[in-house]
Amino acid sequence: MGADTVSLESQYEESTWEHGRLYQKFAVEKSIYWVPIDEEEEERQNIEDDVLNGVFNNKLFFSDPPHNPNKVLDLGYGQAHWAITVAETYPDCEVTAIDIRPLDLPVYPPNLSLECDNLNNILTDVYPQDSFDIIQSRLVGPGIHKNRWPSYLAELRQLLAPTGTLQACEYYFNIQSHAGLLTPDSALTRWGTLYRRAMERLQRDPRMGNHLLPLCRSAGFAPLQVKYYELPIGSWPSDERQRQIGARMLENMDLMLESFGLWGLVKVLEMTVEEVKKLADDCRLEFKREEIKPYLPCSVVWGGKGLEGSAAGSASADAGLDSATTSGDETA
């Protein structure tokens, strides 16, 4: 290897500081993903995992009855909580997890393989077709090119075993108020508007939470189930469990305002770091006003490969998940 040649492995390891946060150099230089890789973002992902465990009642798989999977694929594994739990729960199952950012774990289950790859690349060239019992794609929207979604989902369908299930989950980045108290001038509305504008300029779809279902349908997944959640931000819900989820979600959002917002608002919309931090502080003040009852929309879609007798054909719309605002069943 020449002196100026950088190995693929070390490319993934390089990082760069921007506006006080640490980013994966490869991800930002190749226009893949613009969220930091520092301890603050790792902590945010840990909190987000807690939120989703609460919302999904600690269910790993949405299809019902639960699978006893042989092969599982996790796309954009983050801190690998889900992948590790699956591997530990099913020691005979081979779990493959992919992320653009390599994660060094001191110890991990022998049946878990962590791989470094870009989900915008063709996955069927690398991973075996017709083989995975469960494929999870959770909260990777900010890293997938908006035009990539149809081919991404089509490839996931090819990778799925004939009786397998895809489960996908994405936010719609638009903080809303249950009490109708947010106006276009509210900091929370402005943050959402600016973040979506920046993501659109970066060729990402910040409304993926709303687009997952039709995209999965077009990719041929069937029968499909969908649940739309309004994730409470703060301890405003009257229900105790929802209060707990809301309290954790508030911690998540508190960090997300800058983790997700900084790159786009500073580098793309040319705001100053101080302006973005001021906007984030104004959002935090609005989060404290519990009468606003803020929430973030999130959708979950799951379904089979669309072949006769596909596994998700037996999925119930309930599937043991926590209650959602709306759920749908396309089996009819």
Ligand X SMILES: C[S@@+](CC[C@H](N)C(=O)[O-])C[C@H]1O[C@@H](n2cnc3c(N)ncnc32)[C@H](O)[C@@H]1O
Judged by the rule CB under 6 A, the positions of this chain that interact with ligand X are 32-33, 45, 48-49, 76-78, 99-101, 118-120, 138-140, 143-144
Nearest CB to ligand X, comparing residues 143 and 246: 143
**DSSP string for residues in 205-220:** -TTHHHHHHHHHHHTT
Nearest CB to ligand X, comparing residues 84 and 216: 84
Residue nearest to ligand X (CB): 143
Please report the beta strands in 32-131, taking only residues with DSSP state E, as ranges in sequence order.
71-75, 94-99, 112-116
Contact 227, 321 (CB under 8 A): yes
Nearest CB to ligand X, comparing residues 99 and 155: 99
Nearest CB to ligand X, comparing residues 108 and 236: 108
Cα–Cα distance between 91 and 112 in angstroms, integer? 9
3-state DSSP call for residue 242?
helix
Cα–Cα distance between 317 and 163 in angstroms, integer? 18
| Nearest alpha carbon to residue 140 among 98, 84, 87 | 98
Nearest CB to ligand X, comparing residues 51 and 182: 51
From the CB of 78, what's the least distance to ligand X, in Å?
2
From the CB of 118, what's the least distance to ligand X, in Å?
5
Give the total residue count for the chain. Answer: 332
From the CB of 151, what's the least distance to ligand X, in Å?
13
Nearest CB to ligand X, comparing residues 45 and 176: 45
3-state DSSP call for residue 277?
helix
Phi and psi, residue 133, nearest 5°:
-75, -35
